[in-house]
């Protein structure tokens, strides 16, 4: 039986395009093939061999805990993405992602609900804030922090600036003390060993807790306030609006603490597309929030491959391969473009051609001057249908 949000294929897809291909006589996976029609029947422009550029969180191991769950997509699941890794995490109301730190920086987008984050830096300065749907946080490498769900619980995407990251390798408070002799802990805090008799014997990771009090009541001053904000109200940022959709770009120019990760939140209307372009500074890691998309990636040497994406999927575009993202569904396509960089940068095909001598362009492509004249002078990252 199919779940309500899973579409049953209207008919069996076959790898046939005109006179090319043939039916499948052996085993098939119709529901999987229906999710990836451009993989089963690639456009004739696809050519050569490219690595897999898609992974679904639905295929990731689900770590179930008493207070929620987590699943990850790293270079182990998606080898074409060595620079970034992602974790999708859910916390029940009041549940806690325990106090910890890691050697990678952490960037996060709140998908649903709300949570309280706490940070203490190397000088004892503190930061606490409540994060709501559509907003961000960023924790630099090595800085200890925690996440606790508020009254409605939450689900969020975590992105780390190393594809080899693993949720299993974080430095957890309970795991640390469980592996430190009790007499050493007692000596450290100048207390009797009996004061630490109930320390957990293993890590908690995600565990139930009480919904915290209002933020003003919960604040701890420390040695002073943090000099930079670790959170950003992306939900309040005014988007760049085009006929076919909107884009919000967020990097260190707007969110100064985020020195290793830049991103764009893109919304594309049905039939429209993120224009043909490439990025000049980093690999691209994508997370699809809603809608249906297809993307063709050109890798030079006559190599190109097309993939389909749905909500919960991760896309990868190695530097500096060119591509587009097209909305092939009937609802708004919403996704994140994420980069291991302090800044966002791309070059569009249209801009390149617009500002190159037109006679040179026409000598390459055999197109009319009218085509080049019609290209807008300003950047239009989304092309309307």
Which are the catalytic amino acids? 337
Q: Residue 351 corresponds to which tokens in the numbers above?
A: 């801009």
Query: To which residue do tokens 């006929």 refer?
Result: 243
Distance CA 141, CA 194 (A): 34
Check: CB of residue 273 under 8 Å from CB of residue 348: no
Check: CB of residue 159 under 8 Å from CB of residue 107: yes
Query: To which residue do tokens 């009480």 refer?
Result: 210
Q: Residue 281 corresponds to which tokens in the numbers above?
A: 């500074």
* Residue of 296, 236, 229, 240 lying closest to 268 (CA atoms): 240
Distance CA 165, CA 74 (A): 7
> Helix or strand or coil: residue 315?
strand
β-strand pairing of 145-160 with 85-91: antiparallel
* CA distances to 53, 259, 308, 340, 349 from 75, in Å: 11, 22, 20, 14, 30
Distance CA 310, CA 327 (A): 10
């Amino acid at each position: 039986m199919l779940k309500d949000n899973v579409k049953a294929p209207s008919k069996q897809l076959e790898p046939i395009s005109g006179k090319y291909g043939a039916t499948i006589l052996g085993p098939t996976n119709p529901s999987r093939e229906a999710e990836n029609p451009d993989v089963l029947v690639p456009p004739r422009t696809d050519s050569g061999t490219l690595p897999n550029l898609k992974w679904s969180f639905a295929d990731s191991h689900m770590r179930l805990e008493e207070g929620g769950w987590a699943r990850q997509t790293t270079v182990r699941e998606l080898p074409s993405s060595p620079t970034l890794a992602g974790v999708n995490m859910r916390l029940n109301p009041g549940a806690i992602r325990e106090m910890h730190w890691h050697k990678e920086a952490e960037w996060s987008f709140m998908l649903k609900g709300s949570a309280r984050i706490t940070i203490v830096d190397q000088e004892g300065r503190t930061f606490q804030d409540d994060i709501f749907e559509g907003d961000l946080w960023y924790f630099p490498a090595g800085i200890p922090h925690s996440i606790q769900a508020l009254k409605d619980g939450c689900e969020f995407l975590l992105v780390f600036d190393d594809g080899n990251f693993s949720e299993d390798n974080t430095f957890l408070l309970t795991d640390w003390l469980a592996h430190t002799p009790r007499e050493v802990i007692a000596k450290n805090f100048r207390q009797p060993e009996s004061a630490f008799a109930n320390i957990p014997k293993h890590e908690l990771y995600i565990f139930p807790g009480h919904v915290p009090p209002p933020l003003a009541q919960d604040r701890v001053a420390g040695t002073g306030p943090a000099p930079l904000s670790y959170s950003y109200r992306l939900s309040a940022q005014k988007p760049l609006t085009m006929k076919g959709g909107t884009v919000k770009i967020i990097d260190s120019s707007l969110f100064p603490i985020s020195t290793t990760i830049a991103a764009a939140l893109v919304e594309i209307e049905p039939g429209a597309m993120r224009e043909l372009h490439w990025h000049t500074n980093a690999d691209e890691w994508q997370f699809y929030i809603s809608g249906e998309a297809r993307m063709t990636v050109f890798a030079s040497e006559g190599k190109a491959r097309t993939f389909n994406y749905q909500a919960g999927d991760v896309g990868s575009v190695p530097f500096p391969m060119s591509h587009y993202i097209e909305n092939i569904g009937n609802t708004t396509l919403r996704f994140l473009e994420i980069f291991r960089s302090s800044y966002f940068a791309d070059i569009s095909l249209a801009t390149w051609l617009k500002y190159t001598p037109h006679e040179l362009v026409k000598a390459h492509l055999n197109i009319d001057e009218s085509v080049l004249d019609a290209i807008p002078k300003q950047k239009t990252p989304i092309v309307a249908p």
